[in-house]
Structure formats: structure tokens, C-alpha cells
């Protein structure tokens, strides 16, 4: 019987046709999973992948004996486990010595030790090393027999780990079968896959996957995870593989366990780098930042370079690892106890530290938002001493279950504000658990020792929380001195009317001393009042007066932004000014008219309208004008053409003629979004001199990089 329809013949046809089709589908799907997860370069649309996947699923359902351990259908689901079996590692999983000296001297000390052990003198050439990031996840050993993943095991105590194969199969970046078509263009001849191969590496969770996971957890009212490493460890040890499959994990290979020896036909590697390149060609993810370097100076330079990139990497690292590249030198160096002499982990300053919550205070912001702030026992984290960390709002406090007296983890990564990420279990926990566990009488409800105040701690006005809102607010408005201080600082900031030298210390003095109550009061300040303040010399007083004078010549968008109308940021202020042309027209606009402004919706329109309906706000505006604040006014302008609408641009380094703000203004006027960090979603990076990690990342991701001239061309629409 002849059939012209191949897939039809496979689905319903004789078993050998079905088997051939299943094999072809497995190969195709595994190849596309590698393109998608490991290379981040899918070759077919998701829908096509799904179609192939469903075809294989249907085939396996019809012929269960066609199901193989390397089938991509085995990545999802699986049976519920009762526990994990123990696995004895054929080759122990060692740890590496940690160099806690986070300075360049940490690298020099390692190199000096290696040279001494190898008996190298000053005249001998530098030692060749491979330098890698130290991924902050959990170590995993993947066992392949005849190229098929048969077992995944955690490190455990190094000798015996736990068998977590089912959960590890859900990790898209981990090949279920190693096959040769993964050859990368640069590789001529590939070593054949040995009958036995154990690949060692790190299972981790990307930061964006972690953030998304935590957002989902919060939405469901479930506990959020403290950091990506804990989330990854929890996912790997999850007994329900369906849950594990929903926790997106990633993998980087960095070494070998057992392998078929060369005498029995296994590959012969001479260097660690060669080994990593081979693993990569077999389809395993290897970090792009792995490099071969020579001698101590280059080790230290690598440490510094990756350190600068640390905050912009898509995953957490806690240091870098140096390994002697030559495998024969590695063998000569050998081990001390359980650590190789040929490797070291060179750390970075910790971004997380333990400390104690001494109190939970309330801060009142410009819009009246009450923010609970943890007062902490001082702790050195992320390069600074931290004594305060935000808890965002009451719900975060409850969700994280943080109380005064708790031991907590504080995190400060990059220049973001320090955050309490969670509490650590302590001895009081068993008491807490007892109180809430059934059978213990009397049972007491959970009693937090922090509450949101009913009255503003600054001005005693009522505190409210609008329905569906997470934030509590003080209703005192400009009656509240905390809000007044913030409002003044907002008005005086560089991107608003800019009053140079008017910082928070001075504003505290002026407001607390009753010298300034409203914005116009600023312009009524005299030298006598200013120099009467503590620590204010006559010269500084004069400087402030000059800055105030200078700030009177402003622009309508800056003035509107500076008023601090809720929901009116810089971009909205610019749109309002462009649309209406004059302040009077903005002030007179109805909600409907405001809604006609592009990018302004009903919420923003209502907020602007309500603001200018308040007599005291109109009064402030009139007084400011009376004090001499002026700006050019014009006709309502048509919207300029927006050649960069929908494009995201990142600025880095110093441009030859434009300031950072000027470049930002130009880009935004052309419709671009100016972002602070580079990601796959970035369309262009504009780089000047001394561009750092953002430029490196752009190059790594293949994002077009422009100089100032290139940016100006782009604005003219000349760059495609
Ligand atoms: S090599 C014999 N390379 O750090 C050397 N380990 O104590 C074996 N780690 O928990 C480890 N990134 O999971 C190596 N690039 C890297 C690493 C790395 C992270 C972890 C590893 C283990 C610890 C080593």
C-alpha cells in the first residue's frame, strides 16, 4: 500500500515508520530546544515547535514503547516523588578554596602559590589560566550514557548527593541527548561523544526569571523567594515535577566528572579551555565571559572587569574562579584535602548580609506615601555601611513576616536602595510555629509587632489607604512638613527648576525653622535669614540667593514637572506644555480636554484637573509668577515627528558635545525610551568616552553601538 503522506503514514502506520518518525521528531525538537534555550537564537517559530511537540506526544501516546529518556516530552510532568534517592558520585564533587581578599592581591597570592608549587622562577613565563564567573546557584552532576542523560545529582556532601533527574530534565538548556549536529561554525573536527560522560556545572535562576517568579508568587499570595539561588535550590529539590517545571532554571557547564578514558576510546583533552569548548560544541551552555588569561596581572584585570559587569549580568555571581589551564599541570599540582591546588574562587564583596532589625520607622514621601523603613544594626554590604532598608509597604512587611528583633538578610546590589529580602529562621520560630500549630491551646493569632499608624507621625493628619492600593498615605498634603520638604526638594531638583545648592539638610533647616512654608517663600529668602542658619557662611548664603535668581528663568515643562502634581512626570509635563502652549491654558483645561493630550489617560487628566482646582495650588502658582518665575510661552504645538517611537536606547560614557540630559531630551523628543541598563530589548547603545559595562554588554549581545554623531544621524532618521 502506497502512501504519499509521510506524517499520516507515521501516525497510523506500521511501528517502524512510527519509530522512525518519533526519532526524527526527537532529533528536531532537541535541536530546536538547543537553539532556543542555549543559543538564544530560535530557528523556527514557537508555534511550529509546539506542533512538532504535539505530534511526538501523540505518537508516544499511541505507541508507549516509543517513549525514550531523551524525548523532549519527558521535560514536563513526571510522577510525584516521595523523596530523593541517594547517588554516590563516581568522582567526588570537590569544592574550591576561596580567596576572601577581594582586592587584586587575591589574584596575585594565588598565582604566587601556583608558581611556587610548580617550582617556577622569576624568569619563567606567566602561567596560563582560564578565568570564569563563579555562578551563584547549585552544583550539579549530569551523567550521560551513550549520549543520553540518565541521571542528574546534586553535590550533597561531595561524596553522596541526591538524584534529581526528573526536575533537571525540565531545564531547557540541558541536552537530553548529546548529538553531533551541534557543531559550532568554528569547530572543524568534533571529538565523538564518549560512552560515559559526566558534565558538571551550575544550575541557577536568571534574575529576570526570578523577578517574574516572585511576582507570580505574590499575586497568588504565596511566599516570595529570598534570592535566585534559594529559588533555584528549591526548584531542584521540588518533589512535584509539575511545580519544578514552572520554576525556570538555567545551566552553565564548567567541568567534568567521570568520563570514558582515552584508552577506551574517550576524548583526550590537553587543556581546560579545550574541554569547555568541546562541551559547548556538544550543546552545553558555557558562559561567554570565560577567558584564557596569562599571569597574575591578567587574573586581577579579569576580576576587576567582571566585577564592573556584575550588576548588569543577567544572573548572580559571587566571584570569579581561576583554573590552571593545562591539565597536565593540574595533575602535577594535585589536591590538598578536598580542594584542588590548581583552582581558586576569588570573591567580590557580598551583596547580602545578615543583621538585626532594631526598629521599623515610617518615612513620609512627597506624595504622602508612608514607607516602612527597617532600622538595622549597621552592616557592611555591597560596598557601603547600611543602617536603613526599605520595606516598601505594609503588605511587604507582612509577606516577609519581618518583625523588630528579627535576624534578616539585607541586600544591596549595584546602586539600588538597600532592601530587606527576608528573615532567617531563629529560635523564636519554633515558638511562633507552636502558637499557630493545631493542638496547642490556647492558639494565638499571628501578632506582628509593627502596625501602620492611623495618624501621620509627622503632622498627625489621618492616614488612609485607597481600595486596591498597597500604599498608605498621609492626608495632610502641604500641611505635613515631611511632604512640604519633599515637595521643595522636588521643585528644586536639577530636572525641574534647578536651584543649585538647595539640598535636604538646608531644606530641613528652612522648614523646621518655620522660615519656608511654601514654594514662594523660597524666593522671599534674604541673606539675613539664610546666614542666620547654623553652618551657613555669608558666601554660601549668597550662592543660594544667586541660584534662586537663576532658577527664575525656566521652561514650562520644568515648572509643571516641579509642581509635583501626582502622575505628572517629566514626559507628561512636556506633553502638557506642548499641547496647551501656556500655563493658563493647562490650568483652565477640563478633564476631557486634558484627555486629548497624547499619552494622557483619565487618571492623569483627573489628577491635573484636581490639582489646579485647589485654591491653594492656584495661589502658589500665582505667587511664584509674582516672585518673577518666567518661561517662554507659545502656541499649542503640533506633535513633532517621532522617528524613534517604540525604540529603547541606552546612554553610556561621556559624549563629546552633548550632556547626558541633553542627549536624553533629544532621544525622548524623537519618541525613544531611554533606559538605564542594556538588555536584549535594547535597540541602540550610544557610547561616549569611558563607557563601561553597558558597552561591553551591548557588544556581547550584538546590539548596535553608536557614537554621538551616529545618534544625531539616527535622530534625523538616517540610520536604518
Ligand atoms: S569548579 C574542582 N567553576 O563553586 C573544582 N565551580 O566550591 C570544582 N561554582 O559549589 C568547581 N561557578 O558549584 C567551578 N565556574 C565555576 C563555578 C563553580 C560556581 C561553584 C560550585 C561549587 C563551588 C566550588
Residue 131 near ligand 1, beta carbon < 6 Å:
no
Q: What is the mean pLDDT of residues 349-353?
A: 84
Q: Is 555 in the pocket of ligand 1 (CB under 6 A)?
A: no
* Catalytic machinery residues: 134
Task: Give bridge partners of residue 534 from the DSSP assignment.
Answer: none
Residue to mutate (ligand 1; options 98, 131, 135, 341; most atoms within 8 A of CB)? 135
Q: Which cell is 356 given?
A: 538585626
Sheet order of strands, 128-135 included: 98-99, 343-347, 317-324, 128-135, 291-294
Residue pLDDT, tens place only, 590-623: 999 999 998 899 999 999 999 999 898 999 999 9
Q: What is the CA radius of gyration of the chain?
A: 31
| One-letter-per-residue 3-state SS of 72-141 | HHHHCCCCCCCCCCEEECCCCCCCCCEECCCCCHHHHHHHHHHHHHCCCCCCCCCCEEEEEEEECCEEEE
Establish whether residue 254 lines the binding site of ligand 1, counting it when its CB lies within 6 angstroms of any ligand atom: yes
Q: How much distance in Å is there from the Cα of 492 to the middle of ligand 1?
A: 50
Q: What is the pLDDT of residue 215?
A: 82
- Report how far residue 353's alpha carbon sits from residue 706's, in angstroms, rounded to the nearest whole number: 39
Pair 280, 100: CB distance under 8 Å: no
Q: Which atom of ligand 1 is nearest to the CA of 96?
A: 7
What is the spatial distance between Cα 362 and Cα 392, in angstroms, rounded to a whole number? 10
Rounded-to-integer distance, Cα 677 and Cα 413, Å = 14
CA separation for the pair 694, 652 (Å, rounded): 7
CA–CA separation, 446 and 678 (whole Å): 43
Residues 110-139 have pLDDT tens digits of 999 999 999 999 999 999 999 999 999 999
Confidence of residue 441 (pLDDT cuts 50, 70, 90): very low
Establish whether residue 18 lines the binding site of ligand 1, counting it when its CB lies within 6 angstroms of any ligand atom.
no
Distances (CA, A) of 629 to 88, 542, 621: 77, 19, 10
CB count, 10 Å around CB of 229?
A: 22
State residue 352's pLDDT score. 86
Quote the ligand 1 centre to 96 CA distance (angstroms): 7
**Bigger pLDDT: 679 or 165?**
165
pLDDT in tens, 370-389: 999 999 999 988 778 999 99
User: Model confidence at 688, in pLDDT bands (50, 70, 90)?
Assistant: confident
Residue 228 phi, psi dihedral angles, 5° rounding = -60, -35
Grid cell 539600588 is found at: 416
Task: Answer whether residue 170 shows pLDDT above 60.
Answer: yes
Q: Between the CA of residue 566 and those of 5, 367, 606, what are the distances in Å?
A: 64, 7, 10
| Res. 4: pLDDT tops 50 | no
Q: How confident is the model at residue 1 (pLDDT cuts 50, 70, 90)?
A: very low
In DSSP terms, 696 is beta-bridged to none
Sign of the alpha-carbon torsion through 520, 522, 523, 528: positive
Q: Which atom of ligand 1 is nearest to the CA of 287?
A: 15
| For residues 687-711, average pLDDT | 84
Check residue 235 and give its pLDDT: 92
pLDDT band of residue 189 (cuts 50, 70, 90) is: low
Cis peptide before 442 (omega within 30 of 0): yes
Answer yes or no: is the C-beta of 32 below 6 A from any ligand 1 atom.
no
Biggest alpha carbon distance in the chain? 106
Answer yes or no: are the C-beta atoms of 705 and 691 closer than 8 Å: no
- Please provide the DSSP assignment of 266-293 as one string: ----SBHHHHHHHHHHTT----TT-EEE
Distance CA 303, CA 102 (A): 9
Instruction: Give the helix ranges, DSSP H, for 589-707.
Output: 591-595, 602-613, 615-626, 660-669, 693-701
**How far is the CA of 416 from the CAs of 353, 382, 419, 674, in angstroms?**
15, 10, 9, 18
In the chain, count H helices and then E strands. 27, 24
Query: Quick one: cell of 75?
Result: 521535560
**8 A C-beta contact, residue 556 and residue 570:** no
pLDDT greater at residue 518 or residue 185? 518
The answer for 320, left when phi > 0, alpha when psi is -120 to 50, beta otherwise, is beta
Q: How many CB atoms lie within 10 A of CB 43?
A: 12
Which pairing describes strands 384-390 and 369-381: parallel, antiparallel, or unpaired?
antiparallel
Cell numbers representing residue 281 in the block? 560544541
Q: Are 228 and 207 contacting, i.e. CB atoms less than 8 angstroms apart?
A: yes
Confidence of residue 185 (pLDDT cuts 50, 70, 90): very low
Show Cβ contacts of residue 622 under 8 Å, excluding neighbours closer than 6 positions.
none
Is residue 101 scored above 60 in pLDDT?
Answer: yes
CB neighbour list of residue 655: distance below 8 Å, 6 or more residues apart: 663, 686, 688, 707, 708, 711
What average pLDDT score do residues 698-719 get? Answer: 85
Average model confidence (pLDDT) across the chain = 87
**Ligand 1, atom 3: closest residue by C-alpha:** 254
Nearest protein CA to atom 7 of ligand 1, as residue: 95
Q: What percent of the chain has pLDDT over 70?
A: 91
Give 8-65 pLDDT, tens digit per residue.
444 445 578 899 999 999 999 988 888 888 877 777 888 888 889 999 999 999 999 9
pLDDT on residue 344:
97
What does the DSSP assignment read for 166-198? HHHTT-TTS-SB--GGG--TT-SSPPPPPSEEE
Per-residue pLDDT for 719 more than 70?
no
Q: Which of 689, 698, 598, 693 is nearest to 649 (CA)?
A: 698
Which residue carries 622569576 as its cell?
122
pLDDT of residue 270: 96
Ligand 1 centroid – CA 202 distance (Å): 7
Q: Which of 326, 164, 340, 341 is nearest to 249 (CA)?
A: 164
Please check the confidence at residue 438 and state whether its pLDDT lies above 70.
Answer: no
CA dihedral (438, 443, 445, 447) in degrees, to 10, reads -120
- Quick: pLDDT tens for 197-224: 999 999 999 988 998 898 888 777 777 7
pLDDT of residue 506: 95
Q: What is the pLDDT of residue 184?
A: 47
pLDDT of 87 reads: 93
From atom 16 of ligand 1, which residue's Cα is the shortest distance away? 134
Sign of CA dihedral 8, 10, 14, 17: positive
Separation of CA 316 and ligand 1 centre (Å): 14
Is 98's C-beta closer than 6 angstroms to any atom of ligand 1? Answer: no
pLDDT greater at residue 671 or residue 278: 278
Q: Residue 221, SS3?
A: coil
User: 660-669 and 570-580 helices cross at what angle (nearest 10)?
Assistant: 60
Looking at per-residue pLDDT, the higher value among 404 and 254 belongs to: 254
Question: What is the C-alpha end-to-end distance of the chain, expressed in Å?
Answer: 56
pLDDT of residue 608: 95
Strand partners, 133: 320
Ligand 1 atom having least distance to the Cα of 134? 12
Helix (H, G, I), strand (E, B) or coil at 442: coil
The residue nearest atom 9 of ligand 1, judged by CA position, is: 134
- H/E stretch holding 507 reads helix 504-512
> Could you tell me the three cell numbers for 476?
495632610
Each residue of 447-504: pLDDT tens digit?
567 889 999 999 999 999 988 888 999 998 878 999 999 999 999 999 999 999 999 9
Tell me how crowded residue 26 is: count the other CB atoms within 10 A of its CB: 24
Percent helix, strand, coil in the chain (nearest 5)? 40, 20, 40
- Residue 426's pLDDT is what? 60
Instruction: Report d(CA 586, CA 607) in Å as an integer.
Output: 12
Report the pLDDT value the prediction gives residue 186, as an integer from 0 to 100: 46
Taking only the tens place, the pLDDT of each residue in 495-516 is 999 999 999 999 999 999 999 9
- Give the span between the Cα atoms of 321 and 169, in whole angstroms: 27
Higher pLDDT, 324 or 348: 324
The number of beta carbons lying within 10 Å of the beta carbon of residue 635 is: 8
Amino acid at each position: 500500500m502506497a502512501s504519499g503522506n509521510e506524517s499520516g503514514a507515521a501516525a497510523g502506520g506500521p511501528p517502524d515508520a512510527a519509530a522512525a518518525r518519533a526519532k526524527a521528531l526527537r532529533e528536531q525538537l532537541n535541536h530546536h530546544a538547543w537553539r532556543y534555550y542555549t543559543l538564544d537564537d530560535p530557528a523556527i517559530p514557537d508555534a511550529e515547535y509546539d506542533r512538532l511537540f504535539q505530534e511526538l506526544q501523540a505518537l508516544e501516546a499511541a505507541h508507549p514503547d516509543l517513549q525514550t529518556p531523551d524525548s523532549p516530552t519527558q521535560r514536563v510532568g513526571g510522577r510525584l516523588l516521595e523523596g530523593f534517592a541517594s547517588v554516590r558520585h563516581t568522582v567526588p564533587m570537590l569544592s574550591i578554596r576561596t580567596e576572601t581578599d577581594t582586592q587584586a592581591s587575591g589574584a596575585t597570592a594565588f598565582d604566587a602559590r601556583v608558581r611556587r608549587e610548580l617550582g617556577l622562577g622569576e624568569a619563567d613565563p606567566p602561567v596560563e589560566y582560564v578565568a570564569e564567573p563563579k555562578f551563584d546557584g547549585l552544583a550539579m552532576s549530569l551523567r550521560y550514557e551513550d549520549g543520553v542523560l540518565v541521571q542528574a545529582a546534586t553535590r550533597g556532601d561531595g561524596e553522596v548527593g541526591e538524584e534529581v533527574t526528573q526536575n533537571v530534565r525540565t531545564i531547557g538548556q540541558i541536552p537530553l541527548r548529546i548529538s553531533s549536529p551541534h557543531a559550532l561554525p568554528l569547530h572543524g573536527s568534533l571529538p565523538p561523544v564518549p560512552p560515559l560522560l559526566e558534565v558538571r556545572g551550575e544550575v541557577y535562576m536568571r534574575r529576570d526569571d526570578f523577578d517574574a517568579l516572585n511576582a507570580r508568587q505574590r499575586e497568588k499570595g504565596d511566599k516570595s523567594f529570598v534570592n535566585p539561588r534559594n529559588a533555584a535550590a528549591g526548584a531542584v529539590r521540588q518533589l512535584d515535577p509539575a511545580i519544578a517545571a514552572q520554576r525556570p532554571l538555567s545551566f552553565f557547564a564548567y567541568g567534568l566528572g567521570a568520563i570514558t578514558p582515552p584508552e577506551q576510546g574517550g576524548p583526550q583533552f590537553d587543556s581546560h579551555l579545550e574541554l569547555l569548548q568541546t562541551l559547548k560544541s556538544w550543546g552545553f551552555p558555557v558562559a561567554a565571559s570565560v577567558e584564557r588569561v596569562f599571569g597574575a596581572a591578567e587574573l586581577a584585570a579579569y576580576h576587576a572587569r567582571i566585577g564592573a559587569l556584575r550588576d548588569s549580568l543577567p544572573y548572580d555571581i559571587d566571584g570569579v574562579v581561576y583554573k590552571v589551564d593545562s591539565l597536565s599541570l593540574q595533575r602535577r599540582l594535585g589536591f590538598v584535602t578536598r580542594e584542588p591546588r590548581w583552582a581558586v574562587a576569588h570573591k567580590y564583596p557580598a551583596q547580602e548580609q545578615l543583621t538585626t532589625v532594631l526598629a521599623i520607622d515610617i518615612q513620609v514621601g512627597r506624595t504622602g506615601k508612608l514607607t516602612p523603613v527597617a532600622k538595622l544594626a549597621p552592616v557592611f554590604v555591597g560596598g557601603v555601611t547600611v543602617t536603613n532598608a526599605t520595606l516598601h509597604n505594609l503588605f511587604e512587611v507582612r509577606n516577609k513576616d519581618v518583625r523588630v528583633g528579627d535576624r534578616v538578610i539585607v541586600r544591596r546590589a549595584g546602586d539600588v536602595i538597600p532592601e530587606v529580602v527576608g528573615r532567617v529562621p531563629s529560635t523564636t520560630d519554633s515558638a511562633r510555629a507552636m502558637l499557630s500549630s493545631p493542638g496547642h491551646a490556647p492558639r494565638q493569632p499571628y501578632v506582628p509587632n509593627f502596625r501602620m499608624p492611623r495618624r501621620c507621625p509627622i503632622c498627625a493628619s489621618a492616614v488612609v489607604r485607597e481600595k486596591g492600593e498597597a500604599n498608605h498615605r498621609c492626608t495632610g498634603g502641604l500641611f505635613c512638613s515631611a511632604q512640604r520638604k519633599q515637595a521643595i526638594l522636588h521643585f528644586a531638583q536639577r530636572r525641574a527648576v534647578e536651584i543649585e545648592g538647595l539640598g535636604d539638610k538646608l531644606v530641613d533647616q528652612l522648614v523646621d525653622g518655620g522660615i519656608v512654608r511654601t514654594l514662594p517663600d523660597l524666593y522671599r529668602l534674604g541673606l539675613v535669614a539664610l546666614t542666620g542658619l547654623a553652618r551657613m557662611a555669608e558666601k554660601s548664603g549668597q550662592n543660594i540667593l544667586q541660584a534662586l535668581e537663576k532658577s527664575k528663568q525656566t521652561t514650562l515643562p520644568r515648572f509643571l514637572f516641579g509642581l509635583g502634581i501626582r502622575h505628572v512626570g517629566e514626559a507628561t509635563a512636556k506633553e502638557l506644555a506642548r499641547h496647551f502652549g501656556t500655563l493658563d491654558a493647562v490650568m483652565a483645561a477640563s478633564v476631557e480636554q486634558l484627555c486629548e493630550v497624547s499619552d494622557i489617560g483619565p487618571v492623569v487628566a483627573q489628577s491635573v484637573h484636581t490639582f489646579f482646582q485647589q485654591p491653594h495650588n492656584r495661589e502658589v502658582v500665582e505667587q511664584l509668577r509674582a516672585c518673577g518665575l518666567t518661561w517662554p510661552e507659545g502656541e499649542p504645538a503640533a506633535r513633532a515627528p517621532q522617528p524613534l517611537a517604540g525604540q529603547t536606547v541606552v546612554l553610556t560614557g561621556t559624549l563629546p558635545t552633548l550632556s547626558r540630559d541633553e542627549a536624553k531630551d533629544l532621544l525622548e523628543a524623537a519618541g525613544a525610551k531611554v533606559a538605564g541598563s542594556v538588555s536584549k530589548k535594547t535597540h541602540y547603545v550610544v557610547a561616549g568616552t569611558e563607557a563601561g559595562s553597558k558597552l561591553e554588554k551591548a557588544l556581547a549581545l550584538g546590539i548596535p553601538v553608536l557614537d554621538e554623531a551616529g545618534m544625531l544621524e539616527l535622530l534625523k532618521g538616517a540610520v536604518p
